[in-house]
Amino acid sequence: MSEEFDFDRELDPYVDAIDMGARPNYVGVGEVSYEERIVQNRRPPELAVTDEMIEQDATNPDSWLTYNKGLEEQGFSPANGLTTDNVDQLSREWVLSTDSSGLQTDPIVVPTDPPAMYVTQNNQVVQCLDARTGDTFWRYEYPMPEDPDYEPLPRDRGAVVYGDNVYFGTAVMSMLALNRYTGEPVWETDGLTEEQYRNYPYPWVGYGFAQAPLAYDGKIFAGQSGGDSSPPGWTYALAFDAESGEVMWETNLVPKDQWIGETWRHGNGSAWMTAAYDTETDTLLWNTGNPGPMLNGLVRPGPNQMTAGIVAIDATTGEVKWNDQMVAHDIWDYDGQFTPQIAEMEVDGEATRVVIAPHKTGWAFVYDIETGQLLTRSEPFAKQDGNFLGMHPIGEENGRVFFPGTAGGAEWSPDTYSPRTGLEYIGANDAGHKAWMELGWEYGVEATTGGGTDVPPGLGEDVFHEAYVRAVDPASGKVVWEHQLPDVNPEWGMWRMWTGGTTATAGGLVFHGSSGGDLIALDDESGDRLWRDDTGGRITASPVTWLDPDVGKQYVSVASDDEIVTYSADVSGDG
Amino acid sequence: MAYENRQHVTDEQRRDFLKALGVGGAVATGATLADVRHAVSGESATEELAPVGQAIRSNLGGQLDSGVIRSRETELVGALEALPALAESGVGEEPGDDFARIAAAGRPLYDHFAEVGFFEATSDNLPAFTYDYLTESVSAFVGSEVTAEPLSKVGLTEQEAVDLVASVVTDADQLRHNHWVVSPDISREDVEDAAALPPLTKGAMGGAMLWLEDLDAKLWRWQTMLTDGALADAEWHARSMAAGFQLVNEGAKAIADESAALSDGELGAILSTGFAMQALAQSLLPQDVYWITEEMRDERRTDLEMVTTEF
């Protein structure tokens, strides 16, 4: 594979714009005119987002400034206007319909009057909205290349605000800064490294930025995505200068010297979800994706460092501090799929910064951030069955059903840790698939491709899929309670049924959006359902919530298929 | 230091192994390698393997550096002698480097092998590692004193040496299930990025070294989950990798010396057995030490508590 990139061959006009000397700027390259790309209706209130605001995001009930709220990515809001007593007062405030299905974005909310909301769409649109009404301040559409050979990664999980800009990573692996008051491009930087340009097979189909970036200390952090259906490649985590877009560091997630020969070239290992940032140790905690090829381990002997796990990276230098593979030499697509949560745990009598990672295998791993040592691993929060960490049997006739299937006991949807209860709330999938391998070197896997909507017949008549919200005590490892999601059809295949993420609040609530379309509120101590509404579309992302003190309301917003559905309740007399 | 005397194959597996070698009940359970050697007739098996050894020797004539090989052997034996009995000593408070030192001893040799085309020569000429072929190879291996002798350098007791070679036969199917198919038999069109596919023997030796380089940190990082049994397995599989390494080293040395220290058949036997040990150990190590299920793990800590906040 991987020939040296031939700069003399005839290039697509889009790629022709690439200047290896200076990182390229794609703005203006696409065929969509500037006027069509930006629609400006109104200007949102100005408020430069500072490091101090980001540090206080986790304790500010009025904001949602980073992907899973706060640098610790706890997914927890201190908003306490909505409580177990009044959550049933929630009603729909507004709905934004988009031209992009399967939205995966977690909205960002800046606490101005009115609050400004930023959402991204899979079709590479960024919108700035009035968070009270859903009215569009401005809308920006990224100029995608017209090359039919270049199929971009059609996912986007969100943006981040910092200073006077909003940042989002594109499906063609560039990082883009937009003026967050006007939607006008400020800078764009190519996120493919020079070594990737020289070694990746062209076109680089399937590589892009899918995650919401993280912003702090003058930097924008993002990991590359790609791998499962991409041509062979390997990935980096990067830091960009927030002002200039200059790449400050790039960290290879597939260390060549820990792979055999040239196998690193298809190592993948992408840090494809948003990192958590521990300011006390200046450490970024990132997931790492599956090794490549995804299911055939023979062509990549060894543990396949640093894939299918977690990596701690020095935020200033990009140096790898430590990493751990939850599944070394992964052959089941049990990659690291999480945005981790940073919390405090008492270890040997001392308060210790820990990172909690609910993993696809159905276990939550808890590490000491400073040492990288595994402190504990929870009991299974999702169904495990069928020798799921065993080799695939040979021959279709011997195919085995095992749980979790490749969709995982938990998917990428960000989960939540509540410092109020000390519990991790996880969107959990009891879903499996049947797999085998052929000595002709092909894996046969039912329900891992194509997004089938039914449980495959091969799984057997008595096999059903169920989804839950499960509360796990990270310290004891115990599953404290579970709530089954009734709107998830047990006959759905695992790619249809896996459920969304969770959001806990100081009001004693856990919000969850499910694959069946329900947005629900649970009691954080018992798991009892207190409120639900059918949003009308599948939910894969996590809800966000904020207080708007100027109008005395608490809002809850979630992406549901092609809509942003937002609820509110008057809480002026509460909290 | 000799590795403590622990049984690593069951009595049934040992009987199956002896039966496969055609020695039946002639050798009692608990037999030593010498006992097996005296009972088995490896002569015909060695003759069968002669074309394999001859082809490899022919392909590599004059390319291997005897000095590099001999210097690594000393390092390897030293690293193995320093290996602690993990199940007894436990994992230290800081990450160790006991296993990484074994890999470090082998790395220059691996690089030398890669440089001179050793892996291509062996992969191209070794047949697929089927049960029948491995049985034949092991039969030839144990039937010759000169091929089996290097196992004494890696700190195995006589009985453990039997366990080790027995597992090559009794666990042969494990290789099949792990896709360990001889390189030329791999269907290129079905393998993504086939150009980067390492030769089988390179994968066996290189993969073993990568696991050894990873193991110290893993045991330290995951010690809260690892039982004494898992630690013992880690040590056993690591020692198996090293034993395989030592056998391949001996084969390479015989080629480099251009001596008759090993016949062509013995060369085929020692290389086949050595690479199979490496492949097998790296298939079993993750299953026993890395892929820890609920049933396999140590008891969960009970002294941890989340720090909560009142809102």
| Position A227 pLDDT exceeds 80 | no
Q: A27-36, A263-272, A433-442, A540-549 — which is least confidently predicted?
A: A27-36
Instruction: Average the pLDDT over A480-485 and give the result.
Output: 98
What percentage of chain B has pLDDT greater than the value 70? 88
Tens digits of residue pLDDT in A110-155: 999 999 999 999 989 999 999 999 999 999 998 776 554 555 667 8
Q: Report d(CA A235, CA A192) in Å as an integer.
A: 9
Instruction: Average the pLDDT over A437-452 and give the result.
Output: 46
| Position A404 pLDDT exceeds 80 | yes
pLDDT band at A447 (very low <50, low <70, confident <90, very high): very low
Q: Report d(CA A324, CA A317) in Å as an integer.
A: 20
User: Does residue B302 lie in a domain region?
Assistant: no
User: Does residue B63 lie in a domain region?
Assistant: yes
User: Does residue B9 lie in a domain region?
Assistant: no
Strand A38-40's sheet: what is its strand order?
A38-40, A136-141, A125-130, A116-120, A108-110
pLDDT band at B81 (very low <50, low <70, confident <90, very high): confident
Nearest C-alpha in B relative to A346: B305
Q: Does B14 touch chain A (CB under 8 A)?
A: no
Sign of the alpha-carbon dihedral angle for A55, A58, A63, A67: positive
Instruction: Average the pLDDT over A220-241 and give the result.
Output: 86
Q: Is B9 helix (H, G, I), strand (E, B) or coil?
A: coil
C-alpha distances in angstroms, A210 versus A103, A148, A156, A450, B95?
Answer: 12, 20, 5, 20, 35
Instruction: Average the pLDDT over B95-120 and give the result.
Output: 94
Can you list the alpha helix ranges (DSSP code H) found in B126-198?
131-143, 145-148, 158-170, 172-177
Q: Does A259 touch chain B (CB under 8 A)?
A: yes
For chain B, the domain total comes to: 1
Q: Report d(CA A189, CA A169) in Å as an integer.
A: 10
User: Does residue B109 lie in a domain region?
Assistant: yes
| Position A501 pLDDT exceeds 50 | yes
pLDDT at B84: 77
User: Does residue B1 lie in a domain region?
Assistant: no
User: Does residue A102 lie in a domain region?
Assistant: yes
Q: Does A398 touch chain B (CB under 8 A)?
A: no
| Position A379 pLDDT exceeds 90 | yes
Among A351, A372, A389, the residue with its CB nearest the CB of B291 is: A389
pLDDT band at B181 (very low <50, low <70, confident <90, very high): low
| Neighbour-count burial for A509-540, b at 16+ CB within 10 Å, e otherwise | bbbbbbbbbbbbbbbbbebebbbbbebebbbb
We report the CATH number of the domain holding residue A499 as: 2.140.10.10
Average pLDDT, chain B: 86
| Position A103 pLDDT exceeds 70 | yes
Tens digits of residue pLDDT in B239-258: 999 999 999 999 999 999 87
User: Does residue A4 lie in a domain region?
Assistant: no
Q: Report d(CA A77, CA A80) in Å as an integer.
A: 8
pLDDT at B194: 65
What percentage of chain A has pLDDT greater than the value 70? 86
User: Does residue A5 lie in a domain region?
Assistant: no
User: Does residue B12 lie in a domain region?
Assistant: no
User: Does residue A502 lie in a domain region?
Assistant: yes
| Position A23 pLDDT exceeds 60 | no
Q: A90-94, A164-168, A409-413, B123-127 — which is least confidently predicted?
A: B123-127
Q: In terms of residue numbers, what domain contains B95?
A: 29-181+198-290
pLDDT at A98: 95
Average pLDDT, chain A: 88
Of residues A152 and A299, which shows the higher confidence score?
Answer: A299
Q: In terms of residue numbers, what domain contains A337?
A: 13-86+94-570
- State both tokens at A42: 């109104």
Instruction: Average the pLDDT over B218-245 and give the result.
Output: 94
Q: Does A305 touch chain B (CB under 8 A)?
A: yes
pLDDT band at B178 (very low <50, low <70, confident <90, very high): low
ipTM of the prediction? 0.93
- State both tokens at B192: 């993504």
Q: Report d(CA A156, CA A170) in Å as an integer.
A: 8
| Position B77 pLDDT exceeds 50 | yes
For chain A, the domain total comes to: 1
- Chain A residues near residue B193 by CB distance under 8 angstroms: 1-2, 232, 265-266, 292-293, 299
pLDDT band at A20 (very low <50, low <70, confident <90, very high): very low
pLDDT at A552: 98
User: Does residue A7 lie in a domain region?
Assistant: no
Q: A276-285, B73-82, B268-277 — which is least confidently predicted?
A: B73-82
Q: Does A327 touch chain B (CB under 8 A)?
A: yes
Sign of the alpha-carbon dihedral angle for B143, B146, B152, B153: negative
Among A348, A384, A475, the residue with its CB nearest the CB of B306 is: A475
User: Does residue A333 lie in a domain region?
Assistant: yes
Q: Of A83-92, A229-238, A400-409, which has the strongest mean pLDDT?
A: A83-92
